[in-house]
Structure 1
Amino acid sequence: MVEDGGARPGDRVLDVGCGTGYLTWLMADTVTATGSALGVDPSPDVLAHARRRAAGRPNCTFEDGIAERLDAPEGTYDVVVTSLMVHHLPEEARERAAAEMFRVLRPGGRVLVADFRPPGNPAARHLVGAITGPVMETNPVHLIEPLVRGAGFTATTAGDLHPWIHYVTGTKP
């Protein structure tokens, strides 16, 4: 996912719905000390964990925030990523979240939206649903690309990272 996100040394990266900060941390390594990676999440508990994990990395920080109302000026970031977050948003908030990701990216900036892809096998899908709940059993990842395009991103590509991740990338014109 880091490679698909397109971050380079010196870039400013925003990880929306960062959770425990794993992807944020990897992005901070990718952008090196000349760049920065900021993870935002609404959960104080996971942010505390992320901050502990990133101790000693001055280019990797975490803040309280929600996808539908990002606290950043327009055009602040070179790359915006989000992984395993979209399914947590109510359906009515997803378009606003995608619009916010578009707003905070600079022209030419890249977005990567990745989420859980349910198994193709009906028995495995049922097992996932029994363990995690019905959202994960039927997570409509086919709607991610139209969501990204609808926010205004172009040059979108979609793919799968086996076994469980579907992703879409796009560029802000």
Structure 2
Amino acid sequence: MGDNFSNLLDEFKAKEGIRSDAALAKSLGVTRTFICAIRNGRKCMPQTLQDHISLRLATDVAAESQLQDYVVKPSPKSYPIDLTVIIAAATRANGKCELCEQPAPFLRANGDPYLEAHHIKPLGEGGLDTVYNVAMLCPNCHRRIHYAKNEDDDKKLISGCKKCTYKF
């Protein structure tokens, strides 16, 4: 099984233009030791990491460049995000806010529903940029989740994100 994981890692490195396992580990948010253990067959790759890499490999570069128009420009305190994660979360949401379950409040110029990506566990607090940690919210719920701090809302989002059925 280690060979399959190693091949997946190599394919990901090639697509992303990553030269070393250290850089690969950094881009995936894991340690170099963990990457080595996967390659040597001492550890299995977690399903969430497999899904993340598979989704990233399946993403069309042209489609990703179109999404750049919808990404908020980073501030000095922001972290790089993976647009494929946003695509998968938006697909899972299917045009509805994952908190209030209402349809997106309006459509973008291209006809896509307007929802905002929210990291349930913030990247600055060690959260991962994976489809299992990102919920698509309407603007009102996005503000609510940041300022109201309702534990039931957090539990609902966590539960919903674990049900991701995005097909790679």
Provide the TM-score with structure 2 as the length reference.
Answer: 0.26
> Which one has the largest radius of gyration?
2
Return the structure number with greater helix share.
2
Return the structure number with greater strand share.
1
Provide the TM-score with structure 1 as the length reference.
Answer: 0.25
